[in-house]
Structure 1
Amino acid sequence: MSGLEAQLRARIAEAGPISLADYMAACLMHPEFGYYATRDPFGAGGDFVTAPEISQMFGELLGLCLAQVWLDQGRPARFVLAELGPGRGTLMADVLRATQRVPGFRDAAEVHLVEGSAVLRAAQRRAIAGDVIWHERVESLPEGPLYLLANEFFDALPIRQFQRFGDGWRERVVGLSDDRLALGLSGPVAPPALVERLAETREGDVVEICGPGEAVAAEIGARIAGHGGAALIVDYGDWRSLGDTFQAVKGHAPVDPLAAPGLADLTAHVDFEALARAASPAVYTRLTPQGVFLERLGIGARSEVLARNLSGQALENHLAAYQRLTGAEEMGTLFKVLGLYPEGTTPPPGLDP
């Protein structure tokens, strides 16, 4: 039994079942036993691989996309270039390298990373050259035009789950059964956020709510609407939450999310509609599959350029990475892109208003 599991069992035994959000928060960010607080989970030797780790093309194209928005919005002399949940720093390093050729962009950019893990901050320091400022929360970012990236950030934020029963809801909670952690149901509840969902759900349907995600989206949207900039949110999910998507991954394979608290990555699909609504008064783009977005930005041409100097296994790996990022059976369809931008301006390249 992990140290965190012992703590959770004692907490539940004393005070009763806890919400899924409380369980996820403890598993991911507990200062002593939390998954992200204690390890680097990325890459072949970790538990999962993200798009920036698959190919440099991903970060290059996202960086140039933001640079074009910066140009379209009049080249503000100083702006905040931020990333939420930067992992090892690979994405931001690729962004900074690709945008070096955009005159004035790097000189105007102040790099800010929102990262709560000391382990990952150390990795980011090694990956990113130049001045970087770290933050625990998005609210502490400085005021000013904000050009922001969030790749696989919102899926790791704690969710609550509600299951439809008759004309109401019960919350799915984590309790104890036969001295083991187990999912159960609360008594009847009436979350205000789910009033409208009664008309479109059926008996037994599960709806997920991510309050922390909506709060972050609201903060980002207010800053972009007030000061200019844009945000690119890339994650897996869909326009509206429906169904149980709570999951755990360890060693690149799915595992029971209650089996080893703190030792596996916990995620849930992103409800992009909720983020878009929370980001008002910023304007949001149409939700676009990652593969479509990258192809519109020119990943095919960039892939061809990089392939010219490769052969053998290196070329095969490069072509496999391109397919993994864009293929309909891989990340190309599962992952979606949502853009946020100020009203009255042009949406980020690759995305439709």
Structure 2
Amino acid sequence: MARAAAAYYAGPDPFGRAGDFTTAPEISQAFGECLGLWAAVTWQAMGSPAPVVLAELGPGRGTLMADALRAIGEVMPAFRAALSVHLVETSPALRAAQALAVPDAQWHAGIEGLPAGPAIILANEFFDALPIRQFIRRADGWRERFVQDGRWQEQPPEAAPPLPEPAPEGTVLEHCAAALGIAAALAARGATLLALDYGPAEDGFGDSLQALAAHGRADPLAPPGSVDITAHVRFAALAAAARQSGAAVHGPLPMGLFLQRLGLMSRAAILARSNPRQAGLILSGAERLVAPEGMGRLFKALCLCHPGPTIPPGFEPA
């Protein structure tokens, strides 16, 4: 899965109507603007440290960060002056696109390259692309599912995470060590992480591996690099890993509720009034992000941060 993802993102631009899928920043500029202002308020709650790192993991074309920085510069110029922009990206093609959108960014191959010190980190549809291991309960015990010569195979698991006993035959358990490691490492350094991705709020079982091509379902075993391969994010597992490393955890919340609390629909209405010819498209895009039947319920928002009395914006109790 890791090799297939690396090959995929090294290829042509996968985003937008001409690509394989569309992410929230491409659907509505209000998304990135709201996250930028979320980061600004969070920075104030941290005591307005300067300098401060503003980073994004898996930043796509750089659209989210560009929209966020524009909003920050307009509303809180002191934060814009204090921050340095860092993008965690391995794809040369996407780095080139990001350089056009965010010229003053610095790039890193992994989170270990981020500078020390206070940090606010955004991760939109990042964790779902990290490689998973998949375990299946058979009559004779647990087996690990893997790919060999383009076909599914199974073998006795080696160095496996804890697997539940007893478990019904056919039970599927997915484990993403990379995601848990990133959550734990960011928690240990005291960073604030806002993750928006798709998956269940509570840990569970089931095969969530999927592939997309041309905005439709595809075969995960298609030639590596030809389709986008993802799996559901296990938010409860991320939260547990962060807590074990000393972080406070807020959420997960349905993304639609989180964005509504940040004022996304109000911002979209303002954009629609200033662009009457595009008003319908602007409002329908924003509605897609918050509506339960769109992305609003399947996608979740999770914040990992330094323990303290302050609740991050959007995560206030109902």
Give me the TM-score of the superposition, normalised by structure 1.
0.85
- Greater shift, 98-107 or 167-176, is seen at 167-176
1:246 maps to a residue whose letter is L
Equivalent in 298, 307, 329 of residue 263 of structure 2:
298
Equivalent in 152, 168, 193 of residue 183 of structure 1:
152
Aligned to 1:18: none
Gaps in structure 2 of 5+ consecutive residues: none
Aligned to 1:117: 91
Aligned to 1:7: none
Are the counterparts in 1 of residues 28 and 282 from structure 2 also a CA contact under 8 Å?
A: yes
How many Å apart are 1:167 and its aligned residue? Answer: 7.8
How many Å apart are 1:39 and its aligned residue? Answer: 2.2
How many Å apart are 1:168 and its aligned residue? Answer: 3.7
> Tell me, what secondary structure is at the counterpart of 2:16?
coil
2:155 maps to a residue whose letter is S
Report matched runs for 1:341-352 at 5 Å. 341-352=305-316
How many Å apart are 1:308 and its aligned residue? Answer: 1.4
Q: Is the alpha carbon distance of 1:81 and 1:193 closer, same or farther for their aligned partners in structure 2, counting shifts above 3 Å?
A: same
Aligned: 1:134 with 2:69: no
- Greater shift, 341-350 or 104-113, is seen at 341-350
Aligned: 1:326 with 2:290: yes
> Tell me, what secondary structure is at the counterpart of 1:270?
coil
Are the counterparts in 2 of residues 241 and 270 from structure 1 also a CA contact under 8 Å?
A: no
Distance 1:299 1:246 in 2: 30
2:107 maps to a residue whose letter is W
Equivalent in 243, 252, 256 of residue 287 of structure 1:
252
Aligned: 1:232 with 2:182: no
Distance 2:53 2:311 in 1: 18
Identity percentage over the alignment? Answer: 51
Q: Is the alpha carbon distance of 1:336 and 1:167 closer, same or farther for their aligned partners in structure 2, counting shifts above 3 Å?
A: farther
Distance 2:46 2:68 in 1: 19
2:236 maps to a residue whose letter is E
Aligned to 1:68: 41
Aligned: 1:221 with 2:205: no
Distance 1:191 1:242 in 2: 20
Aligned to 1:198: 165
> Tell me, what secondary structure is at the counterpart of 1:162?
strand
How many Å apart are 1:190 and its aligned residue? Answer: 6.5
Distance 1:58 1:333 in 2: 16
Aligned: 1:150 with 2:138: no
How many Å apart are 1:192 and its aligned residue? Answer: 5.1
Aligned: 1:86 with 2:59: yes
> Tell me, what secondary structure is at the counterpart of 2:229?
strand
Distance 1:88 1:198 in 2: 44
After superposition, the CA RMSD in angstroms is: 1.6
Q: Is the alpha carbon distance of 1:76 and 1:167 closer, same or farther for their aligned partners in structure 2, counting shifts above 3 Å?
A: farther
Aligned: 1:207 with 2:169: no
1:26 maps to a residue whose letter is R
Structure (1 or 2) with the larger CA radius of gyration: 1
Gaps in structure 1 of 5+ consecutive residues: 1-23
> Once the two structures are superposed, what CA deviation does each residue of 1:150-195 show, in whole Å capped at 9, x if it has no partner?
000010011110012358410011124xxxx2212113x3755224
> Tell me, what secondary structure is at the counterpart of 2:136?
strand
Give me the TM-score of the superposition, normalised by structure 2.
0.94
